Amino acid sequence: MLFRQLEYFVAVAQERHFARAAEKCYVSQPALSSAIAKLERELNVTLINRGHSFEGLTPEGERLVVWAKRILAEHDAFKAEVDAVRSGVTGTLRLGTVPSASTTASLVLSGFCSAHPLVKAQICSRLASTELYRRLRDFELDAVIAHPSAEDSRDVELVPLYEERYVLIAPADMFPAGTSALRWPDAAQLPLALLSPDMRDRQMIDAVLAKHGITVSPQVETDSVASLIAQVATGHWASIVPHTWLWTTPTGGEVRPVRLVDPILKAQITLATNSTGPGSPVARALVAGARELALDEFFDARMSGISRGR
């Protein structure tokens, strides 16, 4: 059994199409099909249901693809480990973040990239946490910045990063001058633009409003916090976002942030890595750096201006 055979098999399982899998692996389709057929003969099982095209994995194939992903990931980690001993941590860090934490990635990566200048980083920031955790477990991502979730975070190691608090950002003329805090029912009366209902942050916002007997139907919904801020900047909408966006968002003058109270909604954000196997050197290095961060203090300093009504 060759690693190449496992790579081809995983590619077919992911693409669900022989030609696309061959293109992804930079081989001809006959060469890919031949390698997978040889793998089936070696294991004495049928892995793929075939008709005129790919028709799905057999039960044996479903089991093997889990093992194949793990074997390939540990093979890559071993090669990276050897490189790290020789020349320091190298390679590419594949980092996923939920949209509301996308700006936080720069704070997490700043010291990490300085300490490991040979590492490149790829950031995926448009997926819901459930999909991010799936990709982490399937070794398609090295680390994830997201809300912890009992159902999604099995087989992962969690390192607390910071605690989100939610604030209203709105054109200054939507509430009286000097307002530094607003109750959720009052915020719900404003024309709102919010994250889409499948996003974890929106679900927490809806849950708080539901406790007040309120269901909102925003005119604008998006999966991007940056898009929400742009909507507010037009002067037509208010929005509810984590306070962690205030350090990158111009406020004051025409756009103001206001604390939301009754209750003060908080949510933990963690750095997750795959806990099965030894893990990649880049993931371990990222975790080591993250443990040294004091992001709550950094974000609290940005909140202090709101608390003083500025």
At 119, which CATH number? 3.40.190.10
Q: Based on the fold, state whether residues 49 and 106 are members of the same structural domain.
A: no
Same domain, 172 and 141: no
Are 205 and 194 spatial neighbours (Cβ–Cβ below 8 Å)?
yes
Residues 168 and 254 in one domain: yes
47 and 109: one domain? no
Last residue of a domain, one of 48, 71, 94: 71
Average pLDDT over residues 30-54: 87
Structure tokens at 285: 């290095």
**Do 183 and 263 touch, CB atoms closer than 8 A?**
no
Do 220 and 291 belong to one domain? no
Going 33 to 39 to 41 to 46, the CA torsion angle's sign is negative
pLDDT > 70 fraction of the chain, expressed in percent and rounded? 93
Give residue 306's pLDDT. 59
| pLDDT for residue 81 is more than 80 | no
Give the bridge partners for 182, in sequence order.
Answer: 260
Percent of residues, the chain, with pLDDT higher than 90: 37
DSSP 8-state class, residue 32: H
Q: What CATH number has the domain bearing residue 180?
A: 3.40.190.290
pLDDT of residue 300: 84
Residue 79 lies in a domain: no
d(CA 20, CA 257): 48
> What is the DSSP-derived secondary structure letter of residue 247?
T
The whole-number pLDDT of residue 261 equals 93
Convert the pLDDT of each residue in 4-27 to its tens digit: 888 888 899 989 898 899 999 989
Residues 230, 281: one domain? Answer: no
Average pLDDT over residues 60-68: 87
pLDDT at residue 71, as a whole number: 83
**Domain span holding position 228:** 162-264
| Residue 222 pLDDT | 92
- Give backbone dihedrals phi and psi of 193, rounded to 5 degrees, phi first: -115, 125
Which residues are CB-contacts of 161 (< 8 A; sequence separation ≥ 6)?
A: 104, 108, 145, 269, 270, 271, 290, 293, 295
**Where residue 63 sits, what CATH number does that domain have?**
1.10.10.10
How many structural domains are present in the chain?
3
Indicate if 57 and 113 belong to the same structural domain: no
Q: Is 310 among the domain residues?
A: no
pLDDT score at 75: 77
Let me know if 267 is exposed, middle or buried by CB neighbors in 10 A (0-12, 13-18, 19+).
middle
Pick 307 or 151 by higher pLDDT: 151
Residue 12: inside a domain: yes
- Of 100, 272, 258, 289, which is closest to residue 186 (Cα–Cα)? 258
Instruction: State whether 119 and 234 are in the same domain.
Output: no
Q: What DSSP designation does 238 have?
A: B
Contact predicate 147/270, CB 8 Å: yes
Same domain, 166 and 255: yes
Domain check: are 105 and 30 in the same one?
A: no
